[in-house]
Amino acid sequence: MRSTEVAAPPHATFAAEVRDLSFSYEDRVALDGLSLSVPQGSVFGLLGPNGSGKSTLLSLLAGLRAPAGGELRVLGETPSPALRARIGFLFQETSLDPLMTVREVLWLHGRLFGLPAPVLRRRIEETLATVGLADRARSSVHTLSGGMKRRLELARALLPWPELLLLDEPTTGLDPDSEQALWSELERINREGATVVLATNKVAEAERHCGTVAFIHEGRVVAQGPPAELKAGLKRDAVWLEGLFTQDLVDAVGAWPDVGRLTWAPPILHATVDSASTFVPRLFQAAGDAVISVRLREATLEDAYFDIVGTPIANGGEA
């Protein structure tokens, strides 16, 4: 593992501790000796492509599946149905009955979590106000917009005061305003003490909101640390080149002084550089017709991920 981390303070307690965790779906390995520690009170990101094992890990943390091997402690306990009283789970797919009303959704959930009726009535009002749905309590779910449905699901996850919030791609399908509103709430909840574990394949989301990020690839953690540490060694700009490059050319480019990390995963040559505007013309001079396409942007965690794994997050696995 490339990392940096696990730089938690010596006396830190962990909301989740995972060692050598393994799990398979029939003939497909989903988790393959995965290890990580989630500090209590943190916003912890699991960043990886679809099919890398993020959702499986969340379901194991929630005790919805049993691991085939390894050790797993969540909030100091072995996962069990009873422990789920302390965990909120926001699933990747919409999980709402369109025929129920907003209040019925929350009422059912609160009763499933054993909340007494008077407490639940008050809590429903609070959470609906928190997510901005107080005026939609009597609305049927099918009349809500996509963003409202997601906020309702967040309200449902928050209803029983979870100490650990598991979020599986919470902002998928949301417009920027809804996404921002959702994260405002999540950050507030985190400030109040809840630990947030976010599974995502959105690099910007992980970079912006997570104190620690674990890169997940084929069921393993390949790097882990604060985003700034994971990006250490990256230069300002990222250049993605597709082409028929020779190894000699790659070696030569890697020796240029303005080039930081350079990864050659044919046909992709990926480099972070001080300035793309000076690097690219020089590369064309050196490589000529071998260059098929060029993509430039500011270096992000995706570049760090590519450097380590050799495949981009967007194409790294199957759903």
Partner 1 sequence: MIAAERAAGGPVIRAAMACQAILGRDLRAVLRSRSQLYSSLLFPLMLLAILGAGVSEGLDPSSSRIRDGDYTSYLVPGLVVMAALFSSTFSSASYYHDRDSGLLRVMMASPHSPRVILLGKALAGVLIGAAQGLGLLAVAALIPGINLEWQFGAAPGFLLAAGGGLLLAVFLNGFAQLMAARIRTMQGFHLVMNLVLFPLLFFSGAFFPLDDLPLWLKVAAAVNPLSYAVDLVHIAAYTDTNGHFGLAVDLAVLGVLAPAVFLLGIGSKKGAE
Is 2 within 8 Å of 306 (Cβ atoms)? Answer: no
- Selected binder of partner 1 within 17, 20, 32, 104 (CB under 8 A): 104
Question: Which is closer to partner 1, CB of 116 or CB of 281?
Answer: 116
Sheet holding 259-265, edge to edge: 259-265, 268-273, 237-243, 291-298
Q: Which stretch, 111-119, 201-209, 267-275, 310-318, contacts partner 1 (CB under 8 A)?
A: 111-119
In 3-state terms the chain splits into helix, strand, coil percentages (rounded to 5) of 35, 30, 35
Helix axes 102-112, 146-158, angle to 10 degrees: 30
Q: Which stretch, 44-52, 107-115, 237-245, 249-257, contacts partner 1 (CB under 8 A)?
A: 107-115
- Selected binder of partner 1 within 28, 111, 208, 295 (CB under 8 A): 111
Lay out the site mask for partner 1 across 157-196 (x = CB under 8 A, - = otherwise): ---xx-----------------------------------
Q: Which stretch, 43-51, 115-123, 127-135, 233-241, contacts partner 1 (CB under 8 A)?
A: 115-123
Nearest to 157 by CA among 98, 108, 109: 109
Question: Which is closer to partner 1, CB of 156 or CB of 235?
Answer: 156
- Selected binder of partner 1 within 107, 264, 279, 306 (CB under 8 A): 107
Is 162 within 8 Å of 189 (Cβ atoms)? Answer: no
Question: Helix H segments across 159-246?
Answer: 176-191, 203-209, 227-230
Query: How far, in Å, are 198, 205, 222, 247, 266 from residue 230 at the CA level?
Result: 17, 15, 11, 27, 23
Nearest to 137 by CA among 122, 146, 124, 154: 124
Helix (H, G, I), strand (E, B) or coil at 133: coil
Q: Which stretch, 87-95, 182-190, 228-236, 301-309, contacts partner 1 (CB under 8 A)?
A: 87-95
Window 56 to 75, contacts with partner 1 (CB under 8 A): 62, 64
# binding residues, partner 1 (CB under 8 A): 32
Does residue 109 interact with partner 1 by CB under 8 A? yes
Does residue 77 interact with partner 1 by CB under 8 A? no
Interface with partner 1 (CB under 8 A)? 62, 64, 81-85, 87, 89, 91, 93-100, 104, 107-109, 111-116, 119, 156, 160-161
